[in-house]
Amino acid sequence: MESDVKVPFHRPSIGEEEIREVEATLRSGWLTTGPRTHQFERDVAEYVGAPRAVAVNSATAGLHVALAALGIGPGDEVITTPLTFCATVNTILQVGARVVLADIGPDGNIDPAAITRCIHERTRAIVPVHYAGLPCDMHAIWQLAQRHRLFVIEDAAHAIGARYYGRPIGAMHGTHSDAVVFSFYATKNMTTAEGGMITTADTRLADKMEMLTLHGIDHAAWNRYGAAGSWYYEVQACGFKYNLTDLQSAIGIHQLRKLESMHAVRTEYAHRYQKAFSQIAELETPPDDPRSRHAWHLYPLRLNLETLTISRSQFIEALRDAGICASVHFIPIPLHPYYAAHTDLRGDSCPEALKLYPRLISLPLYPAMTPEQVQYVIDSVIKIVHASKRVTAVAVPGENERVHALVAAD
Ligand SMILES: *Cc1c(COP(=O)(O)O)cnc(C)c1O
C-alpha cells in the first residue's frame, strides 16, 4: 500500500525575490525577450567566466542551436554518452548527423578511451555530459578534440555551479569547449521553469546562435536600417523559435544569485548521504573527484545487486511505501524503442552503461529538503537494505540457493 509522500523527488526553491521580479516584469509591459533576458545573459556569463552567453528556452534548444550554428549536419558523426537524457541524442539526430555512443567509465561519465575508439574521418564533434553534475575528464576530451579537429559542445544540463580544476563549468578562458549548454528546467539546480543558456568565447558563433534562436532574423540588419524604420528585418538563416522570455529571465536572475548558497546545501546533504552509505556493503556511493566541484544535481546511488534479494525496481517501490520518491537516471539510450528501431544505436557499444543501469537509484537531493527529510531518507534506505540482505555466510557455489531454499521453506 502506498503511504503519503513524505519526501518528493524534487521541489524548486522559489523565493519572494523571484515572485516580485515576475510581477514587476508583468507590470513593465515587456514580457518576451528584452532587458531582463539580456541582464540574465550578462549575469550567467559573468558567473561562469565567459565573454558571451546566449539565452534559450531550454537546454534542448541550446544543444540544437549550437550543433546547427557549428554547421554539423548530414554525413557528420557526433560522439556522446549512452547515459544521458534523450535530448542530447535527439538534437544530434535533428540536425541530420549520426550519433555514435562512447561508453562510460567508472565515474558514470563518457570515457575518453572509448571516445578515441569512436573517432573516424566523419567525426565532427563530441558532446560530453557532466553526469549528475560531476565534471567529465575535459583535459582528455579537449586533447582528443584538438588532435582530430573536433568541436566540443558540453551538455552541462546538470552542471551549473560545478567546477573543473577550480574553474566553473562554462568558463571560456584557457583551453575550453566551443559551447557549453546549461538547463534551467524546473528540476535542475537552478530554474526558470523552462530555460537554458549557451556560453561561448566565439563572438561570431554567439551572434549566429542568437540569430538562430529567433527565426534566423539578423539583428545587425535591424540596427542598420532601424533608424529608417523599425519594421525592417532580414532573414539570414532558417532559424528556430528558441528565445527565452523576460518572465523566465526574471526568475533566473534571482535563482543565479542564490546558486552558491543552494549548492552549499546540496553539497552538505550529498555528503551526509555519502557518509551514511559508504559504510554499507550492499551500497556503492556515487563517485566524486577531488579535482572538481560536484554540482550534486543528482545523487545516483548504486546498489550492489548480488548482495540483495530485491531488484532496483523493488527497492524503489519499498522507498515509495516509505513515502520517498526516487527516480532513475538514465535509461541507457539504446534501450529506448525509437533508437532501437530507427537508428543503428545498439547496446553492444556500451556494456558498462548497461551494467550500471540496473543498479542506479537517484535519491531526492535538493536545497528545499529539510535535514530531517535527509535523515529520513538515510534511515529508510538502510532499513530496506537490512530487510533485503542476501545471506552469504558460505562461499560455496550453489550454497546461496540452498540457504534461500531453506529460508523459503521456513
Ligand atoms: C534536462 C536535461 C536536458 C534537457 O534540458 P531542457 O532544459 O529540459 O531542455 C539535456 N541533457 C540532460 C543530460 C538533461 O538532464
Residue that the C-alpha cell 521456513 belongs to:
410
Give the CATH number for residue 347.
3.90.1150.10
405: confidence class by pLDDT, cuts 50, 70, 90: very low
Residue closest via CA to ligand 1's atom 5 equals: 59
Q: What is the mean pLDDT of residues 70-94?
A: 98
pLDDT at residue 219 is higher than 80: no
Q: What is the mean pLDDT of residues 54-70?
A: 98
Residue 379 sits at φ, ψ, to 5 deg, of: -60, -40
410: confidence class by pLDDT, cuts 50, 70, 90: very low
Reduced to 3 states (helix: H, G, I; strand: E, B; else coil), residue 357 is: helix
Q: Is the CB of 253 under 6 A from ligand 1?
A: no
Shared domain for 162 and 191, answered yes or no, is yes
Residue 131 lies in a domain: yes
| DSSP code for 134 | P
Give the model's pLDDT for residue 3.
55
For residue 373, how many other CB atoms are within 10 A of its CB? 18
Residue 285 lies in a domain: yes
Give the model's pLDDT for residue 395.
54
Residue 404 lies in a domain: no
Q: Is the CB of 92 under 6 A from ligand 1?
A: no
Give the whole-angstrom CA distance, residue 298 versus residue 306.
24
Shared domain for 46 and 168, answered yes or no, is yes
Shared domain for 244 and 274, answered yes or no, is no
Q: What is the mean pLDDT of residues 280-301?
A: 98
Q: Is the CB of 59 under 6 A from ligand 1?
A: yes
Residue 408 lies in a domain: no
C-alpha triplet 195, 196, 199: angle, nearest 5°: 160
Reduced to 3 states (helix: H, G, I; strand: E, B; else coil), residue 359 is: helix
Give the model's pLDDT for residue 401.
52
Give the CATH number for residue 78.
3.40.640.10
218: confidence class by pLDDT, cuts 50, 70, 90: confident
Nearest to 114 by CA among 100, 99, 94, 135: 100
Shared domain for 18 and 141, answered yes or no, is yes
Question: Into how many domains does the chain fold?
Answer: 2
Shared domain for 77 and 173, answered yes or no, is yes
Residue that the C-alpha cell 546538470 belongs to:
158
State which of 212, 239, 255 marks the end of a domain.
255
pLDDT at residue 228 is higher than 70: no
| Residue-number span of the structural domain to which 303 is assigned | 259-395
pTM above 0.85, yes or no: yes
pLDDT at residue 16 is higher than 80: yes
Give the model's pLDDT for residue 229.
60
State which of 204, 222, 255 marks the end of a domain.
255
pLDDT tens digits along 93-121 = 999 999 999 999 999 999 999 999 999 99
Residue 291 lies in a domain: yes
Shared domain for 265 and 251, answered yes or no, is no
Give the model's pLDDT for residue 347.
87
Share of the chain above pLDDT 90, in %: 89
Q: Is the CB of 191 under 6 A from ligand 1?
A: no
Length of the chain: 410
Kindly give the number of the ligand 1 atom that is closest to the alpha carbon of 184: 7
- 157 CA → ligand 1 middle, Å: 5
Q: What is the mean pLDDT of residues 279-305?
A: 98
pLDDT tens digits along 155-178 = 999 999 999 999 999 999 999 999
pLDDT at residue 88 is higher than 50: yes
404: confidence class by pLDDT, cuts 50, 70, 90: very low
pLDDT at residue 227 is higher than 60: no
Which is higher by pLDDT, 379 or 4?
379
Beta-strand pair 217-218/234-235? antiparallel
Which one of 6, 188, 208, 383 is the catalytic residue?
188
pLDDT at residue 232 is higher than 90: no
Beta-strand pair 77-80/123-127? parallel
Q: Which residues contact 152 (CB under 8 A, 6 or more apart)?
A: 125, 126, 127, 128, 141, 142, 145, 177, 178
- 222 CA → ligand 1 middle, Å: 32
| DSSP code for 97 | P
| DSSP code for 347 | G
Question: Is 188 known to be catalytic?
Answer: yes
Give the model's pLDDT for residue 398.
53
Nearest to 219 by CA among 209, 234, 205, 229: 234
For residue 27, how many other CB atoms are within 10 A of its CB? 8
Shared domain for 77 and 32, answered yes or no, is yes
Which residue type, as a one-letter code, is found at position 214?
Answer: L
First to last CA, the chain: 25
- The whole-chain average pLDDT of the chain stands at 93
The grid cell for 287 is 563517485
Sign of the alpha-carbon dihedral angle for 247, 254, 85, 180: positive
Shared domain for 368 and 236, answered yes or no, is no
Choice from 81, 93, 185 to test ligand 1 binding pocket (greatest atom count within 8 A of CB): 185
Choice from 54, 60, 296 to test ligand 1 binding pocket (greatest atom count within 8 A of CB): 60
DSSP 206-264: HHHHHHHTBTTEEHHHHHHHHTT-TT--EE-S---B-PPPHHHHHHHHHHHHHHHHHHH
| DSSP code for 327 | B
225: confidence class by pLDDT, cuts 50, 70, 90: low
pLDDT at residue 58 is higher than 90: yes
State which of 229, 255, 281 marks the end of a domain.
255
Residue closest via CA to ligand 1's atom 2 equals: 157
Shared domain for 8 and 64, answered yes or no, is yes
Which is higher by pLDDT, 86 or 218?
86
Q: What is the mean pLDDT of residues 305-322?
A: 98
Give the model's pLDDT for residue 391.
82
Give the model's pLDDT for residue 406.
41
Kindly give the number of the ligand 1 atom that is closest to the alpha carbon of 129: 13
Choice from 160, 183, 331 to test ligand 1 binding pocket (greatest atom count within 8 A of CB): 183
Shared domain for 279 and 309, answered yes or no, is yes
Give the whole-angstrom CA distance, residue 366 versus residue 89.
27
Helices (H), 306-350: 312-321, 337-342
Shared domain for 282 and 206, answered yes or no, is no
Shared domain for 276 and 191, answered yes or no, is no
